[in-house]
A and B are shown apart, each in its own frame.
Chain A
Amino acid sequence: MTDRLRGKSAIVGTGHAGFGEAHGLSAYDVMAQSALAALDDAGLRLSDVDGLFCTMMEDSMPSLMAAEYLGIQPRFIDGTMTGGSSFVNYLTSATMALDAGLCDVALIVYGSNQRTASGKLVTASRPPAYEAPYNPRYPISAYAMAAARHMHEYGTTREQLADVAVSARAWARHNPEAFERGPLTREDVLGARMVGDPLTVRDCCLVTDGGGAIVMVRADRARDFPKAPVYVLGSAAASSHRQISQMKDFTVTAARESGQRAFAAAGVAPGDIQVVELYDAFTINTILFLEDLGFCAKGEGGALVEGGHIAPDGILPVNTNGGGLSCVHPGMYGIFTVIEAARQIRGDAPGMQLNNIDLALAHGNGGVLSSQVTAILGSQNTL
């Protein structure tokens, strides 16, 4: 997105369903419940939706499956699959489609039942041919190797990684929607079962069910809905590889490029951002993305997350719902970064609501640090 599209679209509804365990429900059931929740939030109906932005984990044509299930015949469909970042990426294509008049009501939606269906990551992806013989455990081995290299180059410690999980849990403890709300200490994380050195099971995101949905319209009618509109000020994508073995620098992600372009489109800088929602599939993600998005210099992410700096009452609010580490992680988490950012701006966050939030950043990650998409959202005051 360029600055020409700044503020041209707005989120007027958000919804979710099936958090935790959605017993007896299929992924598409959870998707549909999420869609209904978001449309209800916006005061709209499924019959109003003429733009669908959707991908799922289990099919090769999930957007068609979703449209069929929902009983809608969208004028515009984007099912671009860049992993968990897809749903942040749809903010760009939905804005373009709305601005061009290709649709009037855009529904971004996702659902998964991976916890009750299998208890592990469900994916239609095939193992990469030149990696599969060595039996890496996907996706953790990829992130573990990024963490190991970051520790090697910058002296990042396992304690600092652990503090990311501890901070996420501290936010989640305020959030009744979060799946894990019990106390969690640095020692708990360090002492948990090692699954892929240097990451323990507590450095890894949850495996839950859940779905999310977002309703968007053109900015010129965004104030005609029940909830305060949240404007898309800038969004941008960048990708560097698909397979972890093709990642050029294990300590630098394409979030550097996506962030720069999103900030340029929005006309703001990292220092202006009041709340940050990052795709924290693993604790190393939060450190990498804070660095690459410009909240600190490369190599200083460990120090930034140490202690309670990104926890409630810290210096930078990060993942205020508890993130993928403690709130919800149904295979792909990206849509929840946008939903939590929007709710913080609207003032109806489910957990700890921060005061007077006008500017928030949502960042999605896809694949194995492969696709990075950054979005900057703002209140009416930021137009």
Chain B
Amino acid sequence: MPDATGPDQIFQRALANGEILLPKCNDCGAYHFFPRVLCPHCHGAAISWERATGAGSVHTTTIVRRKPERGGDYNVCMVELEEGVRMMSRVEGISPENVVIDMAVTAFVGEAEGAPAVLFKPAEA
């Protein structure tokens, strides 16, 4: 998407390049997620993009129970990023039972459903 101009396109193009960009309001300075053409906090329409630090913590979590023959149980959680926004994702590298609220996690660009996606792993102590 070399000519990406829409907020979804900008986010997805960055992901395809291995980067996590977050929309930030030029007027009030607050981040938001999902990407939009306006700031949902102050309704300003001047949005810029900042690279996420990747630091976050698990705000809440669940285990989707699935039969082993269909791939087994997996994690779905909400991660609160250092920038103050939350996103749905999953924590990889540990079993879903070990994903707990308030645990520190680090974002990385992985793959979900065959497309680049923001995933998380436990933060290194």
Identify the A interface with B (CB < 8 A). Answer: 129-137, 141, 144-146, 148-149, 152, 193-198, 244-246, 250
**Inter-subunit contact B113/A148 (CB<8 Å):** no
B57 located at the interface, meaning its Cβ lies under 8 Å from any Cβ of chain A in the complex: no
* Extra pairs beyond A194-B63, A196-B65, A198-B62 (9, CB < 8 Å): A130-B33, A133-B115, A136-B76, A141-B76, A148-B62, A195-B65, A196-B62, A244-B78, A250-B78
Interface residues on B, range: 20 to 34
Question: Contacts of B34 on A, CB cut-off 8 Å?
Answer: 129-130, 245-246
Residues of chain A within 8 A (CB-CB) of B117 are 133-134
State whether A197 touches B88 (Cβ < 8 A): no
Q: Which residues from B are CB-within-8-Å of A141?
A: 62, 64, 76
How far apart are B52's CB and chain A's nearest CB, in angstroms? 14
Q: Please give the distance in Å from B77's CB to the nearest CB on chain A.
A: 7
Residue in contact with B64 in the complex, picked from A133, A137, A246, CB distance below 8 Å: A137
Interface centre among B88, B89, B112, B113 (most CB of A within 10 A): B88
Bound-state CA distance A119–B44 (Å) is 45
Give residues in B with beta carbon < 8 Å to A. 8, 33-34, 59-65, 74, 76-78, 86-90, 101-102, 112-113, 115, 117
A131-B88, A136-B88, A141-B76 are known contacts. Are A148 and B61 too (CB-CB below 8 A)?
A: yes
A144 proximity list for chain B (CB < 8 A): 62
* Main DSSP-derived SS at the B contact region: strand
B74's partner among A131, A132, A135 (CB-CB below 8 A) is A135
**Contact between B112 and A133 (Cβ–Cβ < 8 Å)?**
yes
Shortest distance between the CB of B102 and any CB in chain A (Å): 8
- List the A side residues contacting B64 at CB < 8 Å: 135-137, 141, 196
- Give chain B residues whose Cβ lies under 8 Å from the Cβ of A194: 63, 65
A134 touches B59 (CB 8 A): no
A145 touches B78 (CB 8 A): yes
Contact B87 A130 (CB under 8 A): yes
Q: Are B115 and A134 in contact (CB under 8 A)?
A: no
Q: Collect the chain A residues with CB atoms within 8 Å of residue B89's CB.
A: 134
Instruction: Report how far A244 CA is from B115 CA in the complex, Å.
Output: 22
Determine whether the beta carbon of B65 is less than 8 Å from that of A197: yes
B65 touches A193 (CB 8 A): yes
Q: Is B61's CB under 8 angstroms from A145's CB?
A: yes
Chain A residues near B86 (CB-CB < 8 A): 245
In the complex with contacts A136-B88, A141-B62, A152-B78 CB distance below 8 A: no
Docked pose: A333 CA to B60 CA in angstroms:
27
Q: Which of A141, A148, A193, A198: most chain B Cβ within 10 A?
A: A148
Which of B62, B63, B90 lies at the interface centre, i.e. has the most chain A CB atoms within 10 A of its CB? Answer: B62
Identify 24 residue pairs between A and B in the complex whose beta-carbon atoms are under 8 Å apart, listed by A's number: A130-B88, A131-B88, A136-B76, A136-B88, A141-B62, A141-B64, A141-B76, A145-B61, A145-B62, A145-B76, A148-B61, A148-B62, A149-B60, A152-B60, A152-B101, A194-B63, A194-B65, A195-B65, A196-B62, A197-B63, A245-B78, A245-B86, A250-B59, A250-B78
CB pair A149 B113 closer than 8 Å: no
Residues of B within 8 A of A152 (CB): 60, 101-102
Neighbour of A135 across the interface among B59, B78, B113, CB < 8 A: B113
CB distance from B86 to the nearest CB of A (A): 6
- Taking a contact as CB atoms closer than 8 A, the residue among A195, A198, A245 that contacts B88 in the complex is A245
Please give, as numbers and ranges, the residues of chain A lying within 8 Å of B113 by CB-CB distance: 132-133, 135
A106→B115 CA distance, assembly (Å): 49
B7 to chain A minimum Cβ distance, whole angstroms, is 11
Q: Which of A129, A132, A133 has the largest number of chain B CB atoms within 10 A?
A: A133
